[in-house]
Amino acid sequence: MGCSQDIIQAALLVGTAIGFLVSSFIFTGWGLGEFFQLREKRQKKYQKLTRTTEKLLKENQFVTLTDLVFESGLSPKECKQFLDKFVVEVDGDIESNEFGKIYYRFPTAKSIKFKELKGE
C-alpha cells in the first residue's frame, strides 16, 4: 500500500512539473510577443517624431513643444521626452524668450541625417 502511494505522489509531482513547464512556455512566449510589440510601437512613435521634427525644421531652425504636439498628434509628455533627448543627441540648444516660451533650436538642422536615427 505504501508503494502505490509513493507512485501516486511521484506522478502528481511529475504532472505538476510538466504543468509548470507548459505554462512557463506559454507565458514566456506571450511575454516575448508583448515585448516585441511594445518595442515596435516605440520605434514607430520615434520615427513619427523624427519625421515631424524634420518637417518642422525645414520651416525653421527650431521646434516648439506646441508645434510638435500639434503636428505629430502625440501627447505633450511624449513630445517633451523626445525633444529633451533629441536636443542632446544632435547637439541642439534649449532657449526661451521673454515670455517663457521654450524653443528647441537646432543650428545644424541641415546636416542631421534623420533617416539614420534609430531611437531607443
pLDDT tens-digit map of 79-102: 999 999 988 888 889 999 999 999
DSSP code at position 107: T
Q: Which residues of the chain have pLDDT under 70?
A: 1-3, 10-12, 15, 17, 19, 21-33, 35, 109-111, 113-120
Q: Collapsing DSSP states into helix, strand and coil, what is residue 105? A: strand
- Of the candidate CATH numbers 1.10.10.10, 1.10.10.60, 1.10.940.10, 1.10.540.10, the domain formed by 2-112 belongs to 1.10.10.10
In 3D space, the residue among 55, 50, 64 whose CA is nearest the CA of residue 105 turns out to be 64
- In the block, which residue shows the cell 513547464? 21
- In the block, which residue shows the cell 513619427? 48
Question: What is the value of pTM for the model shown?
Answer: 0.65
Q: How many CB atoms lie within 10 A of CB 89?
A: 12
